């Protein structure tokens, strides 16, 4: 009935539109709005590391700050892309050379700029490595604009509003925590990849996810710590498999809300083929190459012949997550790894060995990963579980209280 009324009114509007303009007009623009947060809450996102060049473009005036000399120069818009490279102790922008190892590009009117054809908000920072003539490319972006580029990259935008809001609050808290824990010792806070949170800048911005960011403006989760209620590592993953994992077994931190909860929800909203993942086989040569590539200290093991579970979390009698493994090599030497590290060392995409809720079988030439369940590390919020809770009418706050028990929401600004 509702559809019919909509259909009739649409036809009437279209007819009026044709009479007035001669053709059916474009639908009203619904540009996603990004709310500006107060200054001081910036996130430094590492977009590229160790690259030889990037292409820069902006449709507005901008200024270039050479950080070593504090020189500031103004530049007009660049209708054509400019190549940015490094030359000994200088940054080269097209034919122009700036004698600095660090350079900041600030758009004058907060216009987005493009790097390699992708648009970003905020500022662009280039840090050079003159030794190998490579660049580190960092996007200094206000917190809320950063989240607009994250939420739609981390959760489907058509999911329920309360699930998207829970995701926005978890993502805001997570980046603040990572920034305060690791940011001081490096020139960036988070990577733009799954290693932290996937960030795709302006191209990710969609009305529904921006609404989720705007309607939770400045909200973070906190838990009681020495200095009061402070943000903590609000990790999240796709499908927990039936019980979330204690963070101490995966990331090593011991926040009260991250001890793990029984999750009856994700099974309801996840396709069977995603909840139970197919068995996967890896030959020992590949496993050895991938593990030693990431952990060179294990080279003394030789070829890895055996992988055994040494620590497991058993939940509900039907979910077992291997949290630590022992590796035995052809030299007879042994080594230990957290299973989450092993999983991502063997399969960096994380899409084949979907989780550590599985059994590992050592055959003569191969390793089998069988009877797998869930998708992701399993710590903190379970995204498919959050979706199911939202479908059942739970609010973002109830979802967050469920997955991070003992935490509460506070406002950053
Ligand atoms: Zn779950």
Distance 215 CA to ligand 1 centre (A): 25
- pLDDT for 131 equals 83
Question: What are the b/e assignments for 179-213, b being 16+ CB within 10 Å?
Answer: beeebeeeebbbbbeeebbbbbbbebbbeebbbbb
Q: Could you tell me the pLDDT band of residue 28, with boundaries at 50, 70 and 90? A: very low
Q: What is the mean pLDDT of the chain?
A: 91
Q: From the CA of 350, how far away is ligand 1's center (Å)? A: 17
Phi, psi at 192, each rounded to 5°:
-90, 20
Centroid of chain to Cα 176: 13
Q: How far is the CA of 313 from the centre of ligand 1 (A)?
A: 15
Report the alpha-carbon distance of residue 309 to residue 315 in Å, rounded: 16
Q: Parallel, antiparallel, or unpaired: how do β-strands 236-237 and 381-382 relate?
A: parallel
Question: What number of residues does the chain have?
Answer: 413
Q: At what angle do helices 207-215 and 161-182 cross, to 10 degrees?
A: 70
- Alpha carbon distance 199, 193 (integer Å): 7
Q: What angle do CA 102, 106, 110 make, to 5 degrees?
A: 155
Distance of CA 196 from the midpoint of ligand 1 (Å): 20
Per residue in 313-334, pLDDT (tens digit) is 999 777 999 999 999 999 999 9
> Are 369 and 358 spatial neighbours (Cβ–Cβ below 8 Å)?
yes
Half-sphere exposure of 97 (CA within 13 A, CB side): 6
pLDDT of residue 316: 79
Per residue in 361-371, pLDDT (tens digit) is 999 999 999 99
Beta bridge partners of 379: 245
Q: Give distance in angstroms: CA of 239 to centre of ligand 1.
A: 5
Q: What pLDDT, on a 0 to 100 scale, did the predictor assign at position 4?
A: 35
Is 5 or 171 the better-scoring residue by pLDDT? 171
- Give the model confidence (pLDDT) of 133-143 as tens digits: 999 999 999 99
Instruction: Specify the residue for token string 């840090």.
Output: 127
For residue 57, how far is its CA from the centre of ligand 1 (angstroms)?
Answer: 43
The Å distance, Cα 374 to ligand 1 centre, comes to 8
Ligand 1 centroid–CA 387 distance in Å is: 10
216 Cα to the center of ligand 1, angstroms: 23
Is residue 381 within 8 A of residue 170, CB to CB? The reply is yes
Tell me what the mean pLDDT of segment 99-120 comes to.
94
Is residue 164 a contact partner of residue 179, using CB atoms and an 8 Å limit?
no
Q: How do residues 250-283 score in pLDDT, each as one tens digit?
A: 999 899 999 999 999 999 999 998 999 999 999 9
pLDDT for res 22: 37
> Which region among 153-157, 181-185, 284-288 has the lowest average model confidence (pLDDT)?
181-185
pLDDT band at 30 (very low <50, low <70, confident <90, very high): low
The Å distance, Cα 385 to ligand 1 centre, comes to: 5
- Return the pLDDT at 20: 37
**Cβ atoms of 342 and 291 closer than 8 Å:** yes
Q: Which of 381, 384, 412, 377 is nearest to 397 (CA)?
A: 381
Percent of the chain with pLDDT over 90: 84
Q: Write the pLDDT tens digit of every residue in 202-232.
A: 999 999 999 999 999 999 999 999 999 999 9
Integer Cα distance of 290 and 177 in angstroms: 30
Give residue 229's pLDDT: 96
CA 266 to centroid of ligand 1, rounded, Å: 4
Query: Which contiguous run of DSSP H or E holds residue 314?
Result: strand 304-315
Closest to 133 measured CA to CA, from 99, 104, 90, 186: 90
Calculate the alpha carbon distances from 198 to 194, 204, 249, 347 in Å. Answer: 5, 10, 23, 18
pLDDT at 87: 85
Q: Which residue has the higher pLDDT, 145 or 109?
A: 145
CA–centroid distance, 81 to ligand 1, in Å, is 45
Within 10 angstroms of residue 321's Cβ, the number of other Cβ atoms is 30
Which of residues 30 and 102 earns the better pLDDT score?
102
- pLDDT given for residue 147 in this prediction: 98
* DSSP assignment string, 29-94: P-PPP-PPPPTT-EEEEEEEEEESEEEEEESS-EEEEETTTTEEEEE--EEEEEEEEEETTEEEET
Ligand 1 mean position, distance from CA 210 (Å): 25
Distance 237 CA to ligand 1 centre (A): 9
Residue 205 confidence (pLDDT)? 95
The whole-number pLDDT of residue 2 equals 34
Predicted pLDDT at 211 = 96
Q: In the predicted model, is pLDDT for residue 353 greater than 60?
A: yes
Alpha helices in 36-92 (DSSP H): none
Helices 161-182/396-403 angle, 10° precision: 50
For 38-96, what is each residue's pLDDT tens digit?
998 999 999 999 999 999 999 999 999 999 999 999 988 888 899 999 987 799 999 89
Instruction: Output the CA 269–ligand 1 centroid distance in Å.
Output: 9
At 293, the pLDDT band (50, 70, 90 cuts) reads very high
- For residue 240, the CA-to-ligand 1 centroid distance in Å is 4
What pLDDT, on the 0 to 100 scale, is given for residue 204? 94
What is the structure's pLDDT at 112? 95
pTM (2 decimals)?
0.89
Q: Which residues 6+ apart lie within 8 Å of 156 measured at CB?
A: none
pLDDT tens-digit series, residues 3-25: 333 333 333 433 443 333 333 44
Q: How far apart are CA 147 and CA 214, in angstroms?
A: 10
Residue 123: name the closest of 104, 146, 136 by CA.
104
Residue 283's pLDDT is what?
96
Phi, psi of 8, rounded to the nearest 5 degrees: -65, -45
Tens of pLDDT, residue by residue over 371-384, are 999 999 999 999 99
Q: Which two tokens stand for residue 190?
A: 């988070």
């Amino acid at each position: 009935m509702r559809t019919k009324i909509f259909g009739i009114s649409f036809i009437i509007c279209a007819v009026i539109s044709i009479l007035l303009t001669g053709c059916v007009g474009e639908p009203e623009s619904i540009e996603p709005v990004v709310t500006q947060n107060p200054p001081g809450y910036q996130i430094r996102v590492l977009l590229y590391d160790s690259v030889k060049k990037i292409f820069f473009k902006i449709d507005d005036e901008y200024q270039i700050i050479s950080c070593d000399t504090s020189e500031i120069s103004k530049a007009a818009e660049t209708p054509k892309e400019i190549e940015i490279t490094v030359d000994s102790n200088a940054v080269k922008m097209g034919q122009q050379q700036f004698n600095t190892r660090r350079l900041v590009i600030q758009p004058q009117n907060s216009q987005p700029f493009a790097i390699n054809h992708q648009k970003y908000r905020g500022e662009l920072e280039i840090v050079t490595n003159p030794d190998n003539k490579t660049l580190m490319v960092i996007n200094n972006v206000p917190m809320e604009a950063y989240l607009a580029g994250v939420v739609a990259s981390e959760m489907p935008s058509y999911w329920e509003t309360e699930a998207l809001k829970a995701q926005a609050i978890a993502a805001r808290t997570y980046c603040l925590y990572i920034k305060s824990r690791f940011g001081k010792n490096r020139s960036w806070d988070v990577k733009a990849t799954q290693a932290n949170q996937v960030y795709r800048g302006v191209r990710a911005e969609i009305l529904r996810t921006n609404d989720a960011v705007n309607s939770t403006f400045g909200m973070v989760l906190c838990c009681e710590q020495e200095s009061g209620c402070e943000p903590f590592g609000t990790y999240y993953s796709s499908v927990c498999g039936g019980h979330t994992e204690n963070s101490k077994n995966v990331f090593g931190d011991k926040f009260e809300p991250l001890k793990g909860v029984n999750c009856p929800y994700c099974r309801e909203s996840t396709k069977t083929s995603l909840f139970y993942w197919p068995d996967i086989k890896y030959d020992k040569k590949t496993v050895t190459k991938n593990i030693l590539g990431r952990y060179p200290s294990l080279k003394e093991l030789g070829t890895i012949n055996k992988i055994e579970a040494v620590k497991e979390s058993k939940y509900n009698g039907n979910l077992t997550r291997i949290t630590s493994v022992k590796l035995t090599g052809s030299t007879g030497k042994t080594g230990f790894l957290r299973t989450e590290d092993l999983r991502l060392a063997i399969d960096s995409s994380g899409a084949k060995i979907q989780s550590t809720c599985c059994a590992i079988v050592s055959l003569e030439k191969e390793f089998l990963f069988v009877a797998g369940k869930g998708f992701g590390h399993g710590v903190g919020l379970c995204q498919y579980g959050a979706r199911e809770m939202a479908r059942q009418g739970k609010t973002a706050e109830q979802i967050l209280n469920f997955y991070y028990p003992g935490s509460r929401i506070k406002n950053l600004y």
